[in-house]
Amino acid sequence: MPDWKREIRQRLKPLQLAPEREAEIVEELAQHLDDAYEEALQDDATPEDARRLALRQLATSDTLFQQLRGLERALPQEPIPPGTQKRSNMIGDIGQDLRYGARMLLRSPSFTIITVLALALGIGANSAIFSVVNTVLLRPLPYQNPDQLMTVWEDATHMGFPLNTPSPANYIDLREQNTVFTGMAALAQRSYNLTGAGEPERFDGRRVSANLFQLLGVEPVLGRAFLPEEDQPGVRVVILSHGVWQRRFGGDPTIIGRPLSLDGEPYTVVGVMPPTVNLPTIEGWEDKLWVPIAFTSEEAAGRGNHYLEVIARLKPGVTQEQAQAEMTTIAARLEQQYPDYNTRIGITLRSLHDQMVGNIKPALLVQLGAVGFVLLIACANVANLLLARAAVR
């Protein structure tokens, strides 16, 4: 490798530069000549021809002055007194570093491609998985004070159902006897056939307590939520999901008050919910509409049919542990009152967030750890490439 610094210093002597400035200029121009020399060798030039082509850029003093013009911004105009800190031109330094980095990358395209692909794989996989983890695990539910929302289950572990759906009668007793919740709402899945408005279509829906959306703190984007007096048998009103409103009815703002036929019964549309309403349910089920649950007297007295999902909101200042203790007390009381139905039946509370995340939380965390490990491997590979390249250089 030619001694570029010696060649440059010989040509800089007529300029009579300060030692500090000369050292910086020699370093920069030596790198520039080294780049030119390597490029010439890659073009099949002999070492002597490559040396001559590189030195041609320093053939005259005028050329040197042109090369120095780009360096003046980053160099001090006055000598730096001993004991003082050197001032720097940050923009000039950054520009110089970027130019140097670009030259180094362009000189080794194979190294650059491998490095970029390795980092892109690691960063891309991490970004994709983290987006899912952030949406599912980290981001709070789109409801008012979501940490206060609980799901209520019957504990029938002795029959193999640790999280069993409550019966209507047990739900009503829990709702009326508790002192730890501001409200409690029941939900029951049901499919409906929609006819009379285009092609017939079958929708997944829920029968829900009239106070459900108020309990969640959700306001309709159109119309209103259910009224308390609508939670009675014979009242036929329906609230549509945002997706059905957009797809089936084209986002028609005049949908409120329009009659619909569900399972051959006339219903009136009273509201449209925002797209953020997403309630826990079985896999593959997605609520498209909601109607009042409206228990009949026979349903309200039934303890043998377990089909309700129950959501409750804790009172301010009440913890999940305190609420669980009271639910256990009420469950013991119901067991004494109704031994034929409630023997060894407990009550379990689970946060709404945990219920919606379900069993996918461990899988997501494992995937996040796996792609994080992939990123570490990619970084290690790039570091090894840099070390090998530095050793060769």
Q: Give the pLDDT of residue 304.
A: 92
Q: Give the Cα separation of 319 and 225 in Å (integer).
A: 28
Q: Give the pLDDT of residue 73.
A: 47
Q: Give the Cα separation of 32 and 130 in Å (integer).
A: 42
- The number of residues making up the chain comes to 393
Token pair 């990619």 in the structure block, residue: 378
Q: Nearest Cα to 143, choosing from 351, 361, 326? A: 351
Q: Give the Cα separation of 218 and 208 in Å (integer).
A: 14
DSSP for 113-135 reads HHHHHHHHHHHHHHHHHHHHHII
DSSP state of 141: P
DSSP H helical ranges for 141-237: 168-177, 212-216
- Report helix, strand or coil for 237: strand
Write phi, then psi, for 387 (nearest 5 degrees): -65, -45
Q: Give the pLDDT of residue 282.
A: 59
DSSP H helical ranges for 237-319: 242-249, 297-300
Do residues 210 and 330 make contact, with C-beta atoms less than 8 angstroms apart?
Answer: no
Q: Against a cut of 0.75, is the pTM above it? A: no
Q: Give the pLDDT of residue 74.
A: 46
Write phi, then psi, for 317 (nearest 5 degrees): 90, -10
Terminal-residue alpha carbon distance, the chain: 11
Q: Give the amino acid at 235.
A: V
Q: Give the pLDDT of residue 285.
A: 76
How open is the CA angle 160-171-284, to the nearest 5 degrees?
60
State the DSSP H helix or E strand holding residue 204, giving kind and residue range, or none if neither. strand 201-208
| Cα torsion 382, 388, 391, 393: sign | negative
Domain boundaries, the chain: 4-44, 146-344
Q: Give the pLDDT of residue 135.
A: 65
Residue 347 vs residues 1, 155, 175, 332: alpha-carbon distances, Å: 81, 5, 13, 9
Tokens encoding 26: 């020699």
What is the residue-level pLDDT of the chain in tens, covering all 393 positions? 788 788 778 777 776 677 777 787 778 778 878 888 888 888 888 888 888 887 777 655 455 555 565 555 444 555 555 555 555 567 767 877 788 778 777 777 887 888 888 888 888 888 888 777 766 666 777 789 999 999 999 999 999 999 999 999 999 999 999 999 999 999 999 999 998 767 899 999 999 999 999 999 999 999 999 999 999 998 999 999 999 999 999 999 999 999 999 999 999 999 999 998 877 665 567 899 999 998 999 999 999 999 999 999 999 999 999 999 999 999 999 999 999 999 999 999 999 888 877 666 677 677 778 888 888 888 888 888 888 877 765
Q: Give the pLDDT of residue 271.
A: 97
